[in-house]
């Protein structure tokens, strides 16, 4: 684990995104609230928030950091047959929150999959990436959309 003890505490924010791609009928089931396991979007949102708070327990060399805010949004995109997930994580500390944002998106996406897999096993999770981070010595990063 990297020693961050000498680094200055700064306000830091990380934003990550990802998509869960599925058939139109599966997405309609989600948006109508008709999934057998319950409200897919709300459960996935809670799973994403909870996992961000426990990232240090999941990723072996991550520091436990005091999170000051975690927002996870899931937006159905009927035109493209997907749910777009975004996680925004904030902290004031000596290391960034990139891993927490990425873990939140991944966990929310896996939760969506788990809740609809009985209806569609071909659901895919795509494009999980850090889209922005700010704070710390390296400053601001923005994903360039490669």
Q: Catalytic residues, which ones?
A: 114
- Reading the block at residue 58, the tokens are 């999941």
Contact 67, 89 (CB under 8 A): yes
Question: Between the CA of residue 136 and those of 11, 55, 59, 88, 106, what are the distances in Å?
Answer: 8, 19, 21, 16, 24
**CA 77 – CA 27 distance, rounded (Å):** 8
User: Which residues, other chains included, contact 88 with Cβ-Cβ below 8 Å and sequence gap of 6+?
Assistant: 13, 14, 15, 69, 70, 71, 72, 101
**φ/ψ of residue 57, rounded to 5:** -85, -20
Are 85 and 106 in contact, with CB atoms under 8 Å apart?
A: no
């Amino acid at each position: 684990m990297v020693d961050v003890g000498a680094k200055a505490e700064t306000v830091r924010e990380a934003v990550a995104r990802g998509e869960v791609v599925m058939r139109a009928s599966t997405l309609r089931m989600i948006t109508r609230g008709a999934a057998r396991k319950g409200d897919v979007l709300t459960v996935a949102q809670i799973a994403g928030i909870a996992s961000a708070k426990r990232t240090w327990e999941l990723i072996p060399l991550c520091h436990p950091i005091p999170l000051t805010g975690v927002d996870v949004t899931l937006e159905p995109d009927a035109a493209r047959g997907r749910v777009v997930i975004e996680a925004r994580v904030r902290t004031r500390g000596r290391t960034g929150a990139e891993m927490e944002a990425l873990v939140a998106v991944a966990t929310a996406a896996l939760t969506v999959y788990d809740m609809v897999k009985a209806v569609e096993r071909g659901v895919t999770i795509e494009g999980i990436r850090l889209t922005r981070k700010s704070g710390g010595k390296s400053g601001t990063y923005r994903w360039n959309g490669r």
